[in-house]
Amino acid sequence: MKTIAATVSAVLLCAGMASAAQTPRSSATESLRAIVKTYLEIHALLAQDKFAELKGPAGTIASQTAALGKEGADLAKAATGLAAAKDLKAARDAFAPLSDALLARVKADGSADLAADLKIGYCPMNRQSWIQRDELPRNPYYGTAMLTCGSVKPLKGH
């Protein structure tokens, strides 16, 4: 009877450890999912030349990325740069390092469902990438002046 109890206890302990080991990954993925959502709001605003509306989401993404801690240091630094932008040009300049850092984090996370519907846009004019969901390019670097300039491919498998 003691052997059965010890075996059951060991199984439960191992199951609890496995569950605990998965929690940080799930938590990080969920945090990243929220960051991607805010990032996509920022992308849409830049593509529409809407700088005035950008301050709220820029501040939000700076807070969200800071919460990632050491793993999100590059992302947090880039987000802080965007939040400090004083005009549309500065915001677009700051969006490039944010895009690069987020792309790296999404790839490092490895969550298939996180990346499933995301696309990578590329602007040949300024040689910068971004993340979006649309099939057609929505260029955040040139906005309405050159909204569809660029190419888009799936993030998955990139």
CATH of the domain at 135: 1.20.120
Domain that holds residue 57: 28-154
* Tens digit of each residue's pLDDT (9 = 90 or more) over 40-52: 999 999 999 999 9
The number of folded domains in the chain is 1
* Tens digit of each residue's pLDDT (9 = 90 or more) over 112-157: 888 889 999 999 999 999 999 999 999 999 999 999 999 999 987 6
Cα distance between residue 41 and residue 106, in whole Å: 17
pTM: 0.82
Is 8 part of a structural domain of the chain? no
* Tens digit of each residue's pLDDT (9 = 90 or more) over 1-27: 555 444 434 434 444 434 344 445 578
Is 16 part of a structural domain of the chain? no
HSE-CB at 139 with a 13 A cutoff on CA atoms is: 18
Is 9 part of a structural domain of the chain? no
Please tell me which residue, 71 or 40, carries the higher pLDDT value.
Answer: 40
Is 15 part of a structural domain of the chain? no
Please tell me which residue, 115 or 99, carries the higher pLDDT value.
Answer: 99
Output the pLDDT for position 138. 97
Cβ–Cβ < 8 Å for 98, 81:
yes
Distances from the Cα of 94 to the Cαs of 68, 120, 139, in angstroms? 20, 17, 14
Long-range contacts of 8-16 (CB under 8 A, 24+ apart): none
Is 22 part of a structural domain of the chain? no
Cβ–Cβ < 8 Å for 99, 129:
yes
Identify each DSSP E strand in 108-158 by its residue range: 119-123, 128-132, 151-154
